Amino acid sequence: MKTNIILLIAVVAGLAFTQTSCNKFDYSEPDTSHDVYTQDQVATGCNTTLAHIKGSYKTLLSAQNGFLQVEDDMIFDGYVCANDITGNLYQSIYVRKIEPDDDGNMVDNCIVIGINDNSLWTTYPVGTHVKVNLKNLYLGTYSYVPKVGMPYITSAGNTRLGGMAKFLAPKNIEVIGFNDKAPETVPIDIDDTWLSQNKTDPTFMYKWTPTLVRIRNVQLTGNYVTIEGKGQRRPVYAVYDDKDAGNGVNDSIWINNKPFCLRQSVLSSFSSDTIPQKNVDVIAVLSRYSDWQFSLRSNKDRSAAGADDGDVQYSDGTIDHK
Amino acid sequence: MRKKRLLLLPLLVAPTLVWAQTPADSIAMADELDAESFVVSDFDIDDEAPTSQNASSVASFNDDMFLMKTNFRFGHSYYSPRHYDQGYRSTFVNGALINDAETGQFRFSSLFGGLSHATRGQQGLTAYEQNGLNYTDIGGGANLNLRASNYGAGSRLTLSLTNRNYIGRLQFTYASGITPKGWAFVVSAGGRYGEEGNAKGTYLKSAALFLGVEKKFNPHHSLALSLMASPTDQATASWTTEEAYWLANSHYYNPYWGYQNGKKRSSRVRKTFEPTAFLTWDWQINDRTKLTTTNIFRYAQYGQTYINRTNNAADPRPDYYHYMPSSVFKVYQVIPDEWQLHEWQNYVDFWRSSEENRQINWDKMYMINHNSVAEGGEAVYFLEESHNDQLAWNFATTFNKVVNLHYKYDLGLNFNHTTGMHYKTMNDLLGANYHTDTDRFAASDFGAYSNEAQNDLDNPNRRIGKGDKFGYNYNIYVNRAQLWTTNTYVVDKFSLILSANVGGTTIQREGKMRSGRSPLHSKGHSETAKFLHGGAKYQLGYKFDAHSQVNFSGGFEYRPPVANNAFIDPQIKNDFVNNLTNEMAFHLGLDYKFSYGRFDGMLKGYYTQFTNQVEQTQFFDDIKQKYSYLTMTGVEKEHYGVELALQYAFNTQFSIDFVGAIGEAKYKNNANAFITYDNADEVQWYDEIHGHDLQVITKGMRVGCTPLTSLSLGARYSIRGWFFEGRLNYYDRAYIYFSPYLRLSDVIPDVSPTLNEAGRYVYAITPEQLKYEGRTLLNLDGTVNRYVPKEQEKFKGAFMLDLSVGHFIRLHGGKTLSINLNLTNVTNNQNMVLRGREENRNDNTDKTGKTKQYDFGRNPKYMYAYPFNAFLNLNYRF
């Protein structure tokens, strides 16, 4: 009996061990203060500029669609001015740089970096200073918008320039700093005159595609949805059933009573929010499809008309710090 | 007087002798082998299977050679007797049914895992024979006798070592036997531990405790109380695609884990804890009459962790289809362009360049959450735990009466009340501070802060912290009562067993949250569904002589639907499936058994038809972009086949045997279907394209993941306490779990014909397309000629060689030591697919037929049989 008791105690102690050893499976939180998911150093320093790239590849980058593979190190830097924080700009970051061109004039350029990943906004928040090496990536356009990424086949069977595989981003992009007050984070202030006067000028459109803009006192319109069980209808940013093959819908942004396209993803976090009925000021990414096209980074990119809440940069490059 | 009593004695004892079950010693050596060394539950790496290990795999079928042999042999192939669902097998403890009332099934390992000492005295039960315990379902079952007096006096210590999903097991049992004062005590404790199982990233930690006490008050009354629990934490492994296995260069690749701070962490941890009490009163009224009453009180806690995320977050699963090389272009159909090949190679290189690249990236999820917090945001990724808890009371009372030499009967009453508690909790916020309790799919459709997005309208936008309940929370109540009887008549060479039962079942849901997707039908009590059910069965036997016997059997059973198929969207809504009715099983059987000296055998044939079954599957509908429930009703299936067991003993030391089961288990009709969506009240029940009720084209599909052909040839040699055994098993005709979604009549792509010169229809499709995608063949006028669904994949047949060696040593003072070594898959066959399932995902991206590059139809998920593994058992009795 004594032996039995000893054995029983031993077995129970063993049991206790297996259970208390649970502690070794309590995982400590990793230190993520360092940027473990971007390249420590993409290569050496920058060997080109965004301005130089847009100048050198003007034919390629002004086509509607097209791409080429970059075989050598081609490294430039810029600041993130827009990202996928709501999913409306899908799997993309917009890298912008205001810098002198070859002639010493200040120029403002922006390019889309496509990455087949989500939550890019957490790695590349607005104001992130990045260095990008285009080696082994593809440079080209998607619907006139200059872009870096990899080709893909659309659902319609066409080959287009999409995002790079998510595992290539850490190889080709290095985060080198952060400054959310950088001039590149400040939208340029435009109006209907700016848009109308220049939309027939390919050079002008090329120069400003894409970029971050602010438009004042505009009206947004979208389709209506019926609130189930209530019989009420309300206009929303994107009605899911209206989506096209790109999971988007085209709303309208009325600038001085002239309609322009407001491109909206049905998968964005605010797609079903009610569109404001009053005029508003909006910050948006300006790009092109057949004409100018606007996309909101988030529904926070709007405020009541006249209620300025941020710095504005004018198209001549001057910044009005509010 | 004394003389008179002695004369009466044979009369009293005779019926007992006639009716006594024959305690054949046919598995005595198997007992020494330690039956659990054959148990699949210790072998099981899978966590997503709809069926699980059953109790009878270690049960003893004294009078059924086929069941006795297949128990041990076919366990590791997921062989299911007659290919029935687990819900058609009854598991009893002290005569009371312990099957889960919500699913109908019983998970042996959740309750009895690690308690093989305590549960080794299982009695196998066939479907038709009178067992004196309870009414057995058509799949047969097993009974565990957990009374303390059932355990022989003495102690037993067992140490097991293996390389399966744990590495070590220790068990100790002490049983007092019946003391002179009528008490019996038993205590059994054990533990299993494996820091890493056969598949990487898995582990098992389990403790087990069993306590039993019994008091025999007098020759007529005894009361037995048993308590048991086996808390278990297990990190499980996943099924994945052949492409992922190829990239990982292993058929045992497990994408569920990843490194966190350099330490392996699993995303799928299953926690089970089922403290259970059994209270049994035995009343031996007289030598011919007995009443047994058992109560079971069970509180089952089952949790399973999953990674979840907000809308704008990349899928963290490393084998998510977007991350596969075959998502770059249609690798099965086109010759790639240069860029396609380049990109495909990029993916391949990424997968192969580092193990971390093909595992979950915990550190990155933390970083994203940390960055979100820094921006004032919430958790982008979080680890949730879904719970399926249960509080159950099972009651059974059984009256046995031996009337005379020719007639005996059992009469019983069963009752069950079960409260199933289903909810999820926040297990880990992965470095963030909170999660807002909204539904991400509804948020896309209706807005992030819309009413529809709210999981709990009464607490909108509630911030969820660690341990909080969120998402869904509901109870399912099941009450079941059953009255049954079994009667056996024996006249000369004939025997007749007649059984019948009648019962009632109620099912009700109680929502604990008012969901924004269904505010009027989600909170509070649903209506109560009531079912009157029952059935009858018979077995007519004829004994040709002392050596052979034939039995004819048959019956029918009206069964209530199981509760977890009864609601169209149980996580949210109180609404029942339309036209929910009893299902019906009709069954026939014929068996012949013989024993001529050294040659024994058994041949069986069976036919079973199921009608009115309900099956439900849930998935994310790519086209609708909605979480969906697909319910099939009116399902008809038939199971039939032959089973054979033969044994020839050359002498007392050497014998050979053969056991085989060749059957069929397939759907007989095209099931009616309807689809409901988590975030809409919409119900789709009509096929708008073809103008008829929505159907799943199931006719001809096979029941999945059980080999329809299982054969085994064995040889056994024993001498002076040693035994050697070899078994060559062959499995074939196992089919994949088919996707009902891919076989919906409005999902199978249409193809129109042209007329050839002979006036026959010609369809412009390739055999490949027909095989992998299926087609709806139309007539010229656009009506449906016939549906040809995607072909159901059949796995390749495979052999598996198992060897066992053991030695039994008698020590001084009646102590014994047995050593057993069981080697499984000795030839190390690593290419044997045991199970697989198609995904409920469409290759089409929208209703216009534009296709994705990734081909789901050619990328089902598989699980392979374990490679060579060993189980060493040291068993010391003292």
For the segment B279-323, what is each residue's pLDDT rounded down to a tens digit? 999 999 999 999 999 999 999 999 999 999 987 788 999 999 989
Instruction: Specify the pLDDT at position A322.
Output: 41
Q: Is B808 helix (H, G, I), strand (E, B) or coil?
A: strand
Report which secondary-structure segment, H or E, holds A235. Answer: strand A232-235
d(CA A60, CA A68): 8
- Helix or strand (DSSP H, E) at B771: helix B767-772
A159 touches chain B (CB under 8 A): yes
Tell me how far apart the 2 most distant CA atoms of chain B are, in Å: 105
Within an 8 Å CB–CB cutoff, is residue A15 touching chain B?
yes
Give the per-residue pLDDT at A305. Answer: 63
Residue A69 lies in a domain: yes
Residue closest to B359 by CA, chosen among B308, B305, B410, B320? B320
Here the tokens at position B496 are 């007749």
Comparing alpha-carbon positions, the chain A residue that sits nearest to B447 is A272
Rounded Cα gap, residues A78 and A53, in angstroms = 13
Say which amino acid occupies B788. Answer: V
Contact (CB<8Å) A37/B362: no
DSSP label of B779: P
A residues 245-284 closer than 8 Å to B (CB): 245, 266-267, 269-274
Among B residues 447-506, those touching chain A with beta carbons less than 8 Å apart: 447-450, 452
User: Which region among A67-71, B579-583, B675-679 has the lowest average model confidence (pLDDT)?
Assistant: B675-679
3-state DSSP assignment of residue A68: strand
Of the partner residues B191, B363, B370, the one whose CB lies closest to the CB of residue A14: B191
For residues A285 and A177, membership in a common domain is answered with no
Beta strands in B179-256 (DSSP E): 183-194, 203-216, 221-229, 232-235, 240-241
Return the percent helix, strand and coil in chain A, to nearest 5. Answer: 20, 40, 40
Same domain, A174 and A219: no
Q: What is the pLDDT of residue A10?
A: 65
Q: Mind listing the pLDDT tens digit for each residue in B134-154?
A: 999 999 999 999 999 999 999
Q: What percent of chain B has pLDDT over 70?
A: 91
With an 8 Å Cβ cutoff, is A13 touching chain B? no
> For the residues of A151-181, what is the DSSP string, one character each?
EEE-TTS-EEEEPEETTTHHHHEEEEEE-TT
Q: Does A178 touch chain B (CB under 8 A)?
A: no
Residue B719 pLDDT > 50:
yes
Residues A175 and A97 in one domain: yes
Question: Least CB-CB distance to B339: which of A29, A125, A151?
Answer: A151
CA distance A167 to B249: 20
* First-to-last C-alpha distance (Å) of chain B: 44
Highest mean pLDDT among A152-156, A177-181, B23-27, B487-491: B487-491
CB contact under 8 A, B207 and A153: no
CA angle centred on B483, ends B477 and B487, rounded to 5°: 150
How many other β-carbons are positioned within 10 Å of the β-carbon of residue B809? 12
* Type of residue at A164: M
Q: Which H/E stretch holds residue B647? A: strand B626-649
| Residue B834 buriedness (CB in 10 A; 0-12 / 13-18 / 19+) | buried
Our CA dihedral for B683, B687, B693, B695, rounded to 10 degrees, sits at -90
Q: Which of residues 363-392 of B touch A (CB under 8 A)?
A: 363-364, 366-372, 375, 380
Retrieve residue A107's tokens: 């120029």
B28-309+383-748+791-877, superfamily in CATH?
TonB-dependent receptor, beta-barrel domain (2.40.170.20)
What pLDDT was estimated at residue B847? Answer: 43
CA-closest candidate to residue B91, choices B42, B43, B50, B145: B145
CB atoms within 10 A of CB B161: 14
A216 Cα to chain B: minimum distance (Å): 25
Kindly list the domain boundaries of chain B, sorted by start residue: 28-309+383-748+791-877, 750-788
Q: What's the pLDDT at A235? A: 83
């607490």: which residue's tokens? B459
Residue B173 CA to residue B377 CA, distance in Å, equals: 54
- Return the amino acid letter for B515: S
Looking at residue B38, what is its pLDDT?
A: 30
Task: Give the pLDDT band (50/70/90) at residue B213.
Answer: very high
Structure tokens at B497: 């067993």
Same-domain pairing of A177 and A196: no
- The pLDDT, as a whole number, for residue B853 is 83
Q: For residues B680 and A195, which has the higher predicted lDDT (pLDDT)?
A: A195
Nearest Cβ partner for A270 among B191, B340, B448:
B448
Q: Is B787 helix (H, G, I), strand (E, B) or coil?
A: strand
Q: Is A117 on the interface with B (CB under 8 A)?
A: yes
Q: Evaluate whether residue A171 is within a structural domain.
A: yes
Residue numbers of A between 182 and 201 with CB closer than 8 Å to B: none
Residue B507 to residue B475: CA distance in whole angstroms = 11
SS3 assignment, position B312: coil
**Weakest mean pLDDT among A135-149, A150-164, B572-586, B805-819:** A150-164
Q: How far is B695 from chain A (nearest CA, A)?
A: 24
Write down the pLDDT at residue B51: 32
Do A62 and A162 share a structural domain?
yes
> What is the number of alpha carbons within 13 Å of residue A127 lying toward its C-beta?
7
Is A209 within a domain? yes
Q: Which structural domain range is residue A139 located in? A: 50-184
Alpha-carbon distance B703 to nearest alpha carbon in chain A (angstroms): 35
Asked if A228 lies within 8 A of B367 by C-beta distance, the reply is: no
The residue count of chain B comes to 878
Q: In degrees rounded to 5, what are phi and psi of residue B18?
A: -65, -45
| Interface test mutation site (partner A, options B210, B273, B312, max chain A beta carbons within 10 A) | B312
Read off the pLDDT of each residue in B163-192 and give the average, rounded to a whole number. 94
Listed residues A129, A154, A184: the one ending a domain: A184
Size of interface A-B (CB pairs under 8 A): 171
CA angle B644, B649, B655 (to 5 degrees): 85
**What is the average pLDDT value for chain B, to the nearest integer?**
89
Across the interface, of B231, B313, B367, the residue whose CB is closest to A36 is: B367
Instruction: Say whether the peptide bond before residue B336 is cis (omega within 30 degrees of 0).
Output: no
Nearest to A27 among B261, B343, B347 (CB): B261
Q: Is A206 among the domain residues?
A: yes
Tell me if B265 and A138 make a contact (CB, 8 A cut-off): no
- Residue B239: DSSP 8-state: -
Measured between alpha carbons, how far is B212 from B210 in angstroms, rounded to an integer?
Answer: 7
Task: Tell which of A145, A161, A184 closes a domain.
Answer: A184
Nearest to B265 among A3, A27, A156 (CB): A27
The predicted pLDDT at position B386 comes to 97
Across the strands, what pairs with B386?
A: B304, B424
Q: Which pLDDT band holds residue B14 (cuts at 50, 70, 90)? A: very low
Last residue of a domain, one of A184, A203, A223: A184
Q: Is the Cβ of A124 closer than 8 Å to some Cβ of chain B?
A: no
**A216 and A126 in a common domain:** no
DSSP B546-593: SSEEEEEEEEEEEEPPPGGGSBSSTTT--PBPTT---EEEEEEEEEEE
B216 SS3 class: strand
Q: What domain count does chain A have?
A: 2
Distances (CA, A) of B847 to A155, A244, B192, B240: 11, 11, 52, 28
Q: At A18, phi and psi to the nearest 5? A: -60, -30
DSSP 8-state assignment for residue B695: E
Cα(B703)–Cα(B705) distance, integer angstroms: 7
Work out the average pLDDT over B659-666. 97
- List all residues of chain B from 746 to 805 with a beta carbon under 8 Å from chain A: none
pLDDT at position B453: 87
The verdict on A69 and A166 lying in the same domain is yes
The SS3 call for residue A36 is: coil
CA distance B12 to chain A (A): 40
Tell whether A174 and A274 lie within a shared domain: no
Residue B611 distance to chain A (closest CA, Å): 37
- Residue showing tokens 């998935």: B619
Nearest to B83, CA basis, from B39, B124, B138: B138
User: What span, in angstroms and rounded, lies between the C-alpha atoms of B600 and B683?
Assistant: 57
B499 bridge partner residues: B486, B537
> Phi/psi class of residue B782: alpha, beta or left (left: φ > 0; alpha: ψ in -120 to 50)?
left
- A118: nearest CB among B193, B206, B314: B314
Q: Which of B311, B431, B445 sits opposite A29 (nearest CB)?
A: B431
Distance from CA of B466 to the nearest CA of A (A): 14
* Whether B525 contacts chain A with CB within 8 A: no
- Phi, then psi, of B321 in degrees rounded to 5: -60, -30
CB pair distance less than 8 Å for A30 and B260: yes
A7 to chain B, any CB pair closer than 8 A? The answer is yes
Which pLDDT does position A13 carry in this prediction? Answer: 63
Distance CA B877, CA B874 (A): 10
Whether B192 has its CB under 8 Å from any CB of chain A: the answer is yes
Residues in chain B within 8 Å Cβ distance of A138: 339
With beta carbons under 8 A apart, name residues in chain B contacting A273: 447-449
Closest CA to B571 of B435, B436, B653, B455: B455
Strands A188-190 and A312-314: parallel
pLDDT in tens, B98-128: 999 999 998 888 788 888 888 887 888 999 9
Q: A30 in a domain, yes or no?
A: no
Same domain membership, residue A238 and residue A146: no
In a domain, A128, yes or no: yes
Residues paired with A91 in a beta bridge: none
pLDDT in tens, chain A (322 residues): 666 666 666 666 666 655 655 444 567 888 877 655 666 666 678 999 999 999 899 999 988 999 999 999 999 999 999 999 888 998 999 999 999 877 778 899 999 999 988 889 888 889 999 999 999 899 999 988 999 999 988 877 788 999 998 888 888 998 888 888 899 999 999 988 888 766 667 788 888 899 999 999 999 888 877 655 555 677 888 887 787 877 789 989 999 888 999 999 888 888 878 888 888 899 999 998 878 899 999 888 877 665 544 444 444 444 444 4
If pLDDT is split at 50, 70 and 90, which confidence band does B50 have? very low
Residue of B nearest to A224 (CA): B446
pLDDT of residue B31 exceeding 80, the answer is no
Q: Which amino acid is at B593?
A: K
| Residue B313 to residue A118, Cβ atoms within 8 A | yes
A47 interfaces chain B, CB cutoff of 8 Å:
no
pLDDT for position B843: 73
Question: What's the rounded mean pLDDT across residues B845-849?
Answer: 50
Phi and psi at residue B440, in whole multiples of 5°?
A: -70, -30
Residue B404: strand, helix, or coil? coil
Q: Are residues A60 and A180 in the same domain?
A: yes
Residues 228-257 of B with CB under 8 A from A: 231, 233
Q: How confident is the model at residue B455 (pLDDT cuts 50, 70, 90)?
A: very high
Residues A175 and A57 in one domain: yes
Q: Phi-psi region for residue B670, left (φ > 0), alpha (ψ -120 to 50) or beta? A: beta
CA of B202 vs chain A CAs: smallest distance (Å): 12
Cα–Cα distance, A19 to A209 (Å, whole number)? 61
Output the pLDDT for position B795: 95
Per residue in B379-409, pLDDT (tens digit) is 999 999 999 999 999 999 999 999 999 999 9
User: Looking at the structure, do residues A176 and A160 belong to the same domain, yes or no?
Assistant: yes
CB neighbour burial string for B619-632, b if at least 16 within 10 angstroms, e if fewer? bebbebbbbbbbbb
